[in-house]
Amino acid sequence: MRRIGQTAGIGLAFLFSAAAAAAQWIGSGSSDVAMWTGLGFAAAAAPIGWFLGGRYDRLKEWAERDSLTGACCRRFVQTAFPRLVAQADRRRKRFSVLLIDVNDFKTVNDTLGHAKGDDLLRKLAGALMDAAKHGEIVVRWGGDEFLLLCPYGDRSALETMSRTIGERMAQISSQWNRPLSVSIGSAVYPDDGRMLDELVQAADKGMYADKHRRKEAGPQRLNA
């Protein structure tokens, strides 16, 4: 986790310490007195800055993270998306989104209970974050849907990531001793849209096409 708040808190503490030392030097004309004043102020202010900065960092992380899975929350992506677009446009780069939906998740809740359903979501989020080796951002989009923001727009790279996610889900399926799988759709900026809603809608169509294909393929292809 980035310690932005703590870094800023310590920085402000030393800035105020320098200001206090300067004021003392101007008032007394003694550099020794000013130095000891600044050091004393820093000794008192630094722990306070560290503590308050840490509280800010924790609150910021809680605001950005989904409490159940630890993935980024939807609000974080909606806030960060304009910056991602500006960066992509400036560098003339493409990026993409993957929309991931757990197949038959309601059956898990109905047969095993909501606690097991929550456990499955945590395991899937962990698997997605473990697979995010190239700067992908894992987001809990809502319910049993996850979104991956990928800093690349190459279709073959997206297919590779989709296969990796399928393999991780197959491992969870084996651990749970029941057929578990996900359906995945993708969209690329700016090919499939320039707004977040446009990209999600395009990925959603692909995800439902994948879900339909899996239903037609039958149970034996669930983890393919």
Mean pLDDT by 10 residues, the chain (224 residues): 50 51 54 51 47 41 77 90 92 95 93 94 95 92 95 93 94 92 96 96 96 77 42
Its pTM stands at 0.71
Reduced to 3 states (helix: H, G, I; strand: E, B; else coil), residue 83 is: helix
Q: Which of 45, 34, 43 is nearest to 12 (CA)?
A: 45
Same domain, 77 and 59: no
For the annotated catalytic residues, the residue numbers are 144
| CA–CA gap between residue 180 and residue 78 (Å, rounded) | 29
pLDDT of residue 62: 44
Whether the bond into 179 is cis, omega within 30 of 0:
no
pLDDT of residue 106: 92
Chain CA centroid to CA 57, Å: 15
Same domain, 77 and 158: yes
Q: Which of 174, 196, 178 is nearest to 187 (CA)?
A: 196
Q: Using DSSP, how many helices (H) and how many strands (E) does the chain show?
A: 7, 5
Count of domains in the chain? 2
Same domain, 50 and 110: no
pLDDT of residue 3: 54
pLDDT of residue 131: 92
Q: 186 — phi, psi (to 5°)?
A: -135, 160
Structure-token pair, residue 87: 């960066």
Domain boundary among 26, 45, 63: 63
Structure-token pair, residue 106: 């309601």
pLDDT of residue 52: 42
What residues pair up with 149 in beta bridges, in sequence order?
97, 137
Q: Residue 98: which domain range?
A: 72-221
| Domain CATH number, residue 182 | 3.30.70.270
User: 208 near 184, Cβ under 8 Å?
Assistant: no
pLDDT of residue 36: 46
pLDDT of residue 217: 77
103: left (phi over 0), alpha (psi -120 to 50) or beta: beta
pLDDT of residue 35: 53
- At a CB cut-off of 8 Å and minimum separation 6, what does 145 contact? 99, 100, 101, 102
Same domain, 121 and 48: no
135: left (phi over 0), alpha (psi -120 to 50) or beta: left
Same domain, 109 and 206: yes
| CA–CA gap between residue 13 and residue 8 (Å, rounded) | 9
Chain CA centroid to CA 77, Å: 8
Q: 72 — phi, psi (to 5°)?
A: -65, 150
